[in-house]
Amino acid sequence: IRAYEETLKYAKNKGLLTIADVKRNDIGTTAEAYAQSYLGEVEIYGAEDDFTLPIFDADSLTINPYLGWDGVKPFVDESKKYGKCVFVLVKTSNKTSGDLQDLELKDGRTVYDVVGHLVDSWGADEIGESGYNFVGAVVGATYPEQARQLRKIMPNTIFLVPGYGAQGGTAEDIKVCFNKDGLGAVVNNSRGIIFAYEAMKMPEDAYGEAAKIAVGNMIKDLGY
């Protein structure tokens, strides 16, 4: 936890935006505590005068919608209060995501369709100058057809796109995650950068150089 906290601070000092991939949620009161610790400020007791301060202070985080609105609302409220962002799991990149997310309901829609509509409604009142809101969606690069459908459902939603690289998602796969303006998606590549030194057969102490090369290759692959 200390390493996580220090990494967030280091990234902020470098002017980077941070996404805490914690996939948090719980019932209302516990969700409030999680939301305050990751996005807002927490009351500190025991001092001469009680006060509040940020704990982890991430710019955004991933959350699980399985508990419904009362488990999501605290994160949305803290995001709105402190200018942060949440990314709701909608169609995840893992192989067995369809066990639940692809289930077909009585009206013919899938579970991920319904969650997509909910995410769209949760952020509908907070459209910013660029046409997007602060309630984002996690949509995996490994399921481009589902991503295409979800982009139609959520035109004003920023997609956080895992699954590129090590999980098999390609630059071609993720095109559907962007809007026609070329915006609306953040592409994640974790193992492909963190462990690039292994793929490049470089020594461990050259991980930084390997990561830099991997980032350059990703930028070129995505056409930026």
CA dihedral 163, 143, 134, 194 (to 10 degrees): 0
| Residue 23: burial class (beta carbons within 10 Å; 0-12, 13-18, 19+) | middle
Catalytic residue among 23, 73, 80, 175: 23
Measured distance CA(61)–CA(72) in Å, rounded? 12
Element (H, E) at 198: helix 196-199
Catalytic annotation present for 12: no
Measured distance CA(25)–CA(181) in Å, rounded? 32
Which residues are annotated as catalytic? 23
